[in-house]
Amino acid sequence: MAFWFNLDTKSVETDDTRGPDANVLGPYPTYAEASAALAKVEKNNDTWDDEDREWDAKGASPAWDDEDLED
C-alpha cells in the first residue's frame, strides 16, 4: 500500500482515501515517511539553498534572465 501526504488537508492518505485530483506528495512506502514529508521537503530546500549560496560565493555567474530571451 502506498501512502501520500495531502498538502491541502495536511494529512496522510492511502490509495483508497486519496482523491483523483488531490494535491499530494508521494508515494511513500510507510505512514511514518508520509507523515514526515513536509519536514523532508523543508530540509531538502534548505540544503539546496545552502548549495546555491556556496555556488554563488565561488563566483558562479548569476542566474540567467528569461527577459533576454526572444518570445
Exposure string for 6-45, b = 16+ CB within 10 A, e = fewer: beeeeebbeeeebeeeeebebebeeeeebeebeeeeeeee
pTM given for the model: 0.67
**For a pLDDT cut of 70, what percent of the chain falls above it?**
83
pLDDT tens, position by position, 40-58? 999 999 999 999 898 888 8
